Structure 1
Amino acid sequence: MDRGSCASDRGSWNAALDCRRKHCYIITVMSGVVMRFEKGNEIGSATRFGPDWAGERCGARTKAGASCQRPAVKRTGRCTRHGGRSTGPRTAEGRARIAAAQLKHGRLTKEARAEAKRRAQLGREIRAELKQIERWAVSEGLLDRNWKDQFKPPKPT
């Protein structure tokens, strides 16, 4: 294969994206280094985080005495096992703060659903009462049985 003719070898990211050669089928950027996976390469955890990986390692001391080789979280520089991520809030006020931050809108809260049910029930009661009044008015002769027909638009001819 002629690797020198591939656009990704020229160092331009736009050129790397435009590479249409059959041997370049995945282009990714990791730590500012353009990596090209060619056909026949094994893509998996061995190539992503193996000894030749250019990314930042955790570096924490393990029980064996060596430094941890897992990929580091950007903010802390340690992996998720050595303090790289939060385990979440422990206190009630901390949990309430997280719950408030996660609220996108109030449509699906328990209070909103209860209010919607209450309004729906009120609407059903009002419609039932109106139907009862209509039946009474028709039976007393105050209202024509087909009184709703006068509000319908005329049919086009």
Structure 2
Amino acid sequence: MDKDGTYPVKLYIYDMSRGMARQLSPLMLGEFLSNFLHTAVVVHGKEFFFVGQGINSCPPGGSSLGEPDSVVDMGFTEVPADLFKEYLTSLAESTYGANKYNLFEHNCNTFSDEVAQFLTGKKIPSYITDLPSEVLSTPFGQALRPFLDSVVINPGGNNITGQR
């Protein structure tokens, strides 16, 4: 907690392609994509993210992805940890439950955007939330969509509701 009773909120950004998107996207998609992004929100000393098994948490930088490639300071929140946990539990029971993950329409980035808005009133950067539509706007993206719709990102962590 900060001295004024607020809590810092950070957005952790990971390049899931480990630099491969820069090299392969012009060949495969016909346009340049700098990365393939996974995001998580860090608040109250934990990193929170959405995967195929639901909402997970771990110590900051403690998932199998390691340290983030970049961090965005989202500002501060007045939402205490107990209220935030209730909020996450309600999300886990509704829109971000197990098996509701979709790589293009309902993923870690849509979760991070919704959580960041709840905590700070700010959206995450649009270059992150616009990435799926950029991929799908290409012929190769459309051709791969049936396969990519079955892809689930899971960097580990503990499911907040205990479901697996």
TMscore range, shorter length: under 0.3
**Structure-1-length-normalised TM-score:** 0.20
**Structure-2-length-normalised TM-score:** 0.20
More helix by share: 1
More strand by share: 2
Q: Which fold has the larger relative contact order, with Cα–Cα distance below 8 Å and residues 6 or more apart in sequence?
A: 2
